[in-house]
Amino acid sequence: MAYGGAAPKPDTRALAVEAPVNLVYGSVPHAVMMATPADLEDFAYGFSLTEGIVDSAEEIRATRVEATVDGLRLHVDLAPGRLREHLARKRAISGRTGCGVCGIEDLAQLPRAEARAAAGVRVALPAIARALSGLDRAQSLGAETRAVHAAAWARLDGSLAAVREDVGRHNALDKLIGALIRSGAATDAGFLVITSRCSFEMVEKAARLGAAVIVAISAPTSLALERAHSYGMTLCAIARADTVTVFSGAERLTTDP
């Protein structure tokens, strides 16, 4: 029932699907994530990379989705050597809620990427504006449901190369990262745009990809900024088509069209 005038009237709305997705490696369950059940092969690749289970797409041999009564199982077939390493250090984690890091027991276990961002990347401010405008139009599921996040990879001219959506902001970014590493995209030839707040986990995922620039529509957290500094990453946030705040790495940005 919709209310907005003199009298309520019947109405229908499209809803975003949220389903439990159990990632399984070598027949051993690893994590259950609440996700939108689309682009799950990309999700398998991106999650595996950003969680440190693999270092490259080549270490994943195949993926398979199995429907069950309770949800979906996303089977990920790893190369034998990588599977042995993963099982040797496996820890059980539950799906992130956005307010904690599940499955770790000590502060020293907080995730941290190893590589610094490429120093030679330059992004023009007009390209950021173009990417933001393009992302508004590219969010088909978001336009229909108003209930999902999006993550996009923009080329250096601001045109969008890939967009992924999900009810979870982490999942949207993992799906995008999976699509990028599957296609072999060069991480020095573009930048990330996300529609959510920029927490430290989002910066960590961007760093695992090797992205030098991340643009967020909402504000960053203090730890996100700290990590961006440590990785030499440019962090832009509170981004709109006509304004953006640069929190770190301003030297990468130019005003050239």
Structural domains for the chain = 19-109 (3.10.20.10), 123-254 (3.40.140.10)
Tokens of 224: 């996100």
Describe the crossing of helices 200-209 and 222-231 by its angle, rounded to 10 degrees. 20
Strands 93-94 and 28-35 turn out to be parallel
Percentage of the residues of the chain whose pLDDT score is greater than 70: 91
Q: What is the pLDDT of residues 176-194, one digit of tens each?
A: 999 999 999 999 999 999 9
Dist. CA 194–CA 51, nearest whole Å: 19
Q: Region 193-205: what's the mean pLDDT?
A: 95
Task: Say which residues have a Cβ less than 8 Å from residue 178's Cβ, sequence separation at least 6.
Answer: 39, 41, 42, 43, 44, 45, 46, 47, 48, 49
Residue 6, phi then psi, degrees to nearest 5: -70, -30
Dist. CA 227–CA 211, nearest whole Å: 13
Strands 19-25 and 72-78 turn out to be parallel
| Torsion angle defined by CA atoms of residues 176, 31, 57 and 217, in that order, rounded to the nearest 10 degrees | 20
Catalytic-role residue among 99, 102, 198, 236: 99
Q: What is the pLDDT of residues 5-28, one digit of tens each?
A: 778 888 888 999 999 999 999 999
Q: Which amino acid is at 17?
A: V
According to the model, what pLDDT value does residue 144 have?
95
CA neighbours closer than 13 Å in the CB half-sphere of residue 154: 32
Q: Is the pLDDT of residue 99 over 60?
A: no
> H helices then E strands: how many in the chain?
7, 13
pLDDT tier, 116 (very low <50, low <70, confident <90, very high otherwise): confident
Percentage of the residues of the chain whose pLDDT score is greater than 90: 79
pLDDT tier, 112 (very low <50, low <70, confident <90, very high otherwise): confident
Q: Region 77-102: what's the mean pLDDT?
A: 72
54 compared with 98, residue with greater pLDDT:
54
Q: Is the pLDDT of residue 213 over 80?
A: yes
Average pLDDT, the chain: 91
According to the model, what pLDDT value does residue 158 have?
97
pLDDT tier, 3 (very low <50, low <70, confident <90, very high otherwise): confident
* 99 in catalytic set: yes
pLDDT tier, 4 (very low <50, low <70, confident <90, very high otherwise): confident
pLDDT tier, 98 (very low <50, low <70, confident <90, very high otherwise): very low
According to the model, what pLDDT value does residue 236 have?
98
According to the model, what pLDDT value does residue 200 have?
92
Q: Region 36-65: what's the mean pLDDT?
A: 96
Dist. CA 193–CA 63, nearest whole Å: 27
| Torsion angle defined by CA atoms of residues 133, 49, 102 and 23, in that order, rounded to the nearest 10 degrees | 100
Q: Region 132-142: what's the mean pLDDT?
A: 95
Terminal Cα-to-Cα distance of the chain (whole angstroms)? 48
Dist. CA 139–CA 31, nearest whole Å: 27
Contact between residue 170 and residue 202 where contact means Cβ atoms under 8 Å apart: yes
What count of other Cβ atoms lies within 10 Å of the Cβ of residue 224?
Answer: 26
Tokens of 186: 């060069």
Q: Region 124-146: what's the mean pLDDT?
A: 96
pTM of the predicted protein model: 0.92
Dist. CA 204–CA 210, nearest whole Å: 10
Task: Say which residues have a Cβ less than 8 Å from residue 91's Cβ, sequence separation at least 6.
Answer: 103, 104
According to the model, what pLDDT value does residue 95 have?
55
